[in-house]
Amino acid sequence: MRISKQDPNTGFCRDCLTYQEVPEHRCVHCGSPRVLHHRELYDLTVAHIDCDAFYATVEKRDNPELADKPVIIGGGRRGVVSTACYLARIHGVRSAMPMFKALKACPQAVVIKPDMEKYSRVGRQVREMMQELTPLVQPISIDEAFLELAGTEALHRNPPARTLAAFAKRVEEEIGITVSVGLSYCKFLAKVASDLEKPRGFSVIGEAEAVDFLKSMPVTTIWGVGKAFAATLERDGITMIGQLQEMEESDLMRRYGVIGQRLYRLSRGQDARQVHTRDSAKSVSAETTFNSDHADRDTLAAVLRSLSEKVARRLKKNDIAGHTVVLKLKTTDFKIRTRNRRLEDPTCLADRIFHTGLSLLERELDGTKYRLLGIGVSDLTNADLADPPDLVDTDAAKRAVAERAIDKVRDRFGRHAVETGYTFGKNERARPQRDMDAVDPEKGDSEAG
Ligand code: DCP
Ligand code: MG
């Protein structure tokens, strides 16, 4: 049967994959209750896949006698639970629980020491199978990944939703473990969705219901809101996402700094982060070759500032951050110097990139004339962990808030609407002539320092 986007009423069975024209509770073909219907089922392309009780499921696969027994994986030196099968979870056993406590809750459990080599092998198999669905697979941990399936319909002759259901079925049949799938229009909600119906789940969150759905969820649903930050929010009387939805962005930013903006957007189901493969870019950088050579701090600092802003702009656009700042200089006799510094936390802020770059640059100001200056970041990660609000350096924290405010003005009025002290009036001299993307500063012709 041909399925078109005009026909959102047609669902399909997750067991036999037969299309279902009328919304029935059971599959018209095989009678399975696992029938999927959703108004946006054929429009959504972002998926999060997470294996169910991963280590425990692998052990159950390899020993059928364990099938109906509660199984706990853990022990070892730390004496905590790595994971527990869903049977053991009924008794209250959870990951990271001390083993003695877990055994008190479920004394009949079978305890198995983790076999990491085996789990890595199985995790790799699952990942390879994911990569047959789309080249855009972003692994998050040993048992989970994001997938972008836009544009894969022709290849699989199936809409993403059905491709994913076929995948889950294939993992069960060929690898012998189960997964849960979340399907949505953005990463945040795809991840939330995959957790909704575990195990063997397949949940869909569409754009139309996102805000309503989020309203009644606890703030801890938001990626990056851990126990400590949830406690801060609770002290301010905020426990549910619905409360965040009623707050102004400026208020959230004033209270919580950069993370306030994230809360504002995610609480409304706005998440522009793209799915990217881990090695799609090793670094993000920009560089400029001067018309005449320079040795003085002011000129170089101005160029550095505008290049840092360019790098930060790209990082923010792609929701990534870099852990290491890399400065590149080329002397008049074409010798290249690169200097690196690893930061405490990854950053996507121009201010942090600039100040780190400047301190590296200052050590190279020995009268040498430079014909090229470049700045970039490497060790790329998701922006989620970048620039935590509780910085020791309060001035830097203030500048970070200011930078977010400037970004907003620039989003609305263009890049040159706001100029900082370092670049003000220096745009002609500081204009980058060439930029580089996806260049690995560890390699190539550099002379590491
Ligand atoms: N893990 C661990 N210690 C933790 C959490 C997890 O060692 N505190 C390991 C064991 C898990 C694996 O990582 O099997 C994957 O983590 P998940 O959080 O995805 O947990 P599970 O896959 O076990 O369960 P779920 O079905 O909730 O995904
Ligand atoms: Mg899992």
Q: Domain 68-115 carries which CATH code? A: 3.40.1170.60
Distance in Å, CA 15 to ligand 2 centroid? 21
Residues 318-349 as b or e (16 or more Cβ within 10 Å = b):
bbbbbbbbbbbbbbeeeeebbbbeebeebbbb
Q: Omega into 432 within 30° of 0, i.e. cis?
A: no
Closest residue to atom 28 of ligand 1, CA basis: 52
Closest residue to atom 3 of ligand 1, CA basis: 82
59 Cβ below 6 A of ligand 1: no
426 Cβ below 6 A of ligand 1: no
Catalytic residue among 40, 59, 144, 287: 144
Using N-to-C axis directions, what is the helix angle for 350-362 and 394-413, rounded to 10°? Answer: 120
Q: What is the pLDDT of residue 7?
A: 77
57 Cβ below 6 A of ligand 1: no
Distance CA 260, CA 256 (A): 5
Closest residue to atom 2 of ligand 1, CA basis: 82
Is there a catalytic annotation at residue 144?
yes
Closest residue to atom 7 of ligand 1, CA basis: 82
Say what percent of the chain tops pLDDT 90: 68
SS3 readout for 101-165: HHHHHCCCCEEECCCHHHHHHHHHHHHHHHHCCCCCEEEEECCEEEEECCCCHHHHCCCHHHHHH
CATH topology of domain 283-437: Dna Ligase; domain 1 (3.30.1490)
The closest-lying atom of ligand 1 relative to the alpha carbon of residue 84 is 23
Q: What is the pLDDT of residue 24?
A: 75
Ligand nearest to the CA of 57: 1
Q: What is the pLDDT of residue 443?
A: 31
Q: Are 168 and 12 in contact (CB under 8 A)?
A: no
Ligand nearest to the CA of 74: 1
The single-letter code of the amino acid at 69 is: K
Distance in Å, CA 143 to ligand 2 centroid? 6
Q: What is the pLDDT of residue 345?
A: 84
Distance in Å, CA 206 to ligand 1 centroid? 27
60 Cβ below 6 A of ligand 1: no
198 Cβ below 6 A of ligand 1: yes
Q: What is the pLDDT of residue 112?
A: 96
Give the CATH class of 211-267. Answer: mainly alpha
Distance in Å, CA 299 to ligand 2 centroid? 52
Residues 170-209 as b or e (16 or more Cβ within 10 Å = b):
ebeeebebbbbbbbbbbbbbbbbbbeeebbebbbbbbeee
> Which sequence spans correspond to the domains of the chain?
1-36, 68-115, 211-267, 283-437
State which of 54, 60, 179, 196 you would mutate to test the pocket of ligand 1, scoring each by most atoms of that ligand within 8 A of its C-beta: 54
119 Cβ below 6 A of ligand 1: no
Q: What is the pLDDT of residues 228-260, one digit of tens each?
A: 889 999 999 999 999 999 999 999 999 988 789
Distance in Å, CA 74 to ligand 1 centroid? 11
Closest residue to atom 20 of ligand 1, CA basis: 53
Q: What is the pLDDT along the chain (449 residues), one digit of tens a residue?
A: 555 555 778 999 999 999 998 777 899 999 999 999 999 999 999 999 999 999 999 999 999 999 999 999 998 656 899 999 999 999 999 999 999 999 999 999 999 999 999 999 999 999 999 999 999 999 888 899 999 999 999 999 999 999 999 999 999 999 999 999 999 999 999 999 999 999 999 999 999 999 999 999 999 999 878 888 899 999 999 999 999 999 999 999 999 887 898 899 999 999 988 898 865 567 899 999 998 999 999 999 999 999 999 999 989 888 888 989 999 999 999 899 999 998 888 899 999 999 999 999 999 999 999 999 999 999 888 777 788 765 456 677 778 778 878 877 777 777 666 655 555 544 434 333 333 333 333 232 232 22
143 among annotated binding-site residues? yes
